[in-house]
């Protein structure tokens, strides 16, 4: 039996599908299932049981002997939410309870951290655990993820295997419900579909031309493949970056989306809103050597490959993964 928290969400629902593809069908999904717009993410998947987020620990106390692995990917991920209490409740304290239960019942654990922990990137993007207490995230979401990473590293009691994954800019199917927090590729596709053009943020940094701001975009199919690798690997516990390892520009992203849609590029620019201009990141790139060093050798999707697959096989036909 495998438990996936946040299972109705973007990455988690893709993970459930990937587990099904690998013939893991004894899956328990945990979430707040009252959000109607996320229901289709789990339709058609092979699931043993649905457990409400608030009743999960009571359920686990009764069923822990059957649980082989927990993927704790559930979290509040809104980077524009500034109510710290929400993040303390859902991201920090809930995660501590998951960790402690995994210690008590000897269940291996993979949990979602975030590249938001790196803040403006002043210390780079290396997943060296020694620098984690020194990181300065730019918002309460990033702070909550970094606070948990710090707490986990400080614990003397740990699950016999655990891994925290610092997700970079994940994109792909099953993010239809995320609205403003969906990937730039999702928004690019919709802008082109509606207007035939795409608007990017203008650069306010003399080191970067308009549209040349760079991010590490990682396709969700790579993310879930890494999750399966770690479920089978079960050694080398620690915190790992999970990006493509290759920064690409927003211009490249937009041009690839136009190409995948068969539309002639028409790109405009607008000023970056002043509310986020001071904290806007111009470059992120995951150092992936640590994950590679423990044996993950599968190549990651290039931006071209990922955008083409996402646009043509999911966005255009409106399919789910």
Please choose, from the candidates 28, 40, 33, the residue with its C-alpha nearest in 3D space to the C-alpha of residue 173.
40
Residue 233 marked as a ligand binder: no
What CA–CA distance (Å, rounded) separates 72 from 91? 10
Residue 32 marked as a ligand binder: yes
Find out whether 241 and 168 touch, Cβ atoms under 8 Å: yes
Please choose, from the candidates 69, 68, 49, the residue with its C-alpha nearest in 3D space to the C-alpha of residue 59.
49
For the question of residue 94 being annotated catalytic, the response is: no
Residue 202 marked as a ligand binder: yes
The one catalytic residue in 141, 171, 189, 310 is 141
Residue 292 marked as a ligand binder: no
Residue 268 marked as a ligand binder: no
Residue 31 marked as a ligand binder: yes
Residue 203 marked as a ligand binder: yes
For the question of residue 178 being annotated catalytic, the response is: yes
Residue 142 marked as a ligand binder: no
Residue 145 marked as a ligand binder: yes
Residue 272 marked as a ligand binder: no
The one catalytic residue in 45, 96, 158, 178 is 178
Specify binding-site residues for NADP(+).
Answer: 10-11, 31-32, 38, 53, 73-77, 145, 170, 178
Specify binding-site residues for substrate.
Answer: 169, 180, 187, 201-204, 215, 280
Which positions are catalytic? 141, 178
Specify binding-site residues.
Answer: 10-11, 31-32, 38, 53, 73-77, 145, 169-170, 178, 180, 187, 201-204, 215, 280
């Amino acid at each position: 039996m495998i438990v996936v928290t946040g299972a109705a969400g973007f990455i988690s629902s893709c993970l459930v599908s990937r587990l099904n593809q690998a013939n893991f069908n004894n899956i328990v999904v945990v979430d707040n299932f009252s959000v109607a717009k996320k229901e289709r993410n789990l339709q058609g998947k092979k699931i043993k049981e649905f457990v409400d987020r608030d009743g999960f620990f009571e359920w686990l106390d009764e069923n822990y002997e059957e649980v082989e692995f927990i993927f704790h990917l559930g979290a509040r991920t809104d980077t524009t939410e500034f109510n710290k209490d929400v993040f303390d409740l859902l991201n920090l304290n809930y995660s501590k309870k998951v960790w402690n239960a995994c210690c008590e019942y000897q269940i291996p654990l993979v949990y979602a951290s975030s590249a938001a922990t790196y803040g403006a990137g002043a210390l780079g993007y290396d997943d060296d655990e020694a620098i984690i207490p020194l990181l300065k995230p730019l918002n309460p979401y990033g702070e909550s993820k970094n606070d948990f990473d710090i707490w986990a590293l400080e614990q003397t009691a740990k699950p016999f295997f655990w891994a925290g994954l610092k997700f970079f800019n994940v994109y792909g199917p099953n993010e239809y419900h995320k609205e403003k927090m969906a990937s730039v590729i999702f928004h690019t596709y919709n802008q082109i579909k509606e207007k035939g053009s795409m608007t990017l943020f203008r650069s306010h940094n003399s080191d970067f031309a308009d549209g040349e701001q760079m991010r590490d975009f990682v396709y969700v199919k790579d993310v879930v493949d890494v999750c399966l690798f770690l479920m089978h690997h079960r050694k080398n516990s620690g915190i790992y970056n999970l990006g493509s390892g290759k920064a690409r520009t927003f211009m490249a992203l937009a041009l690839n989306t136009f190409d995948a849609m068969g539309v002639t590029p028409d790109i405009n620019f607008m000023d970056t809103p002043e509310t986020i201009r001071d904290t806007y990141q111009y470059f992120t790139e995951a150092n992936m050597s640590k994950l590679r060093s423990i044996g993950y050798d599968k190549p990651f999707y290039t931006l071209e490959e990922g955008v083409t697959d996402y646009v043509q096989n999911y966005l255009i036909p409106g399919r789910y993964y």
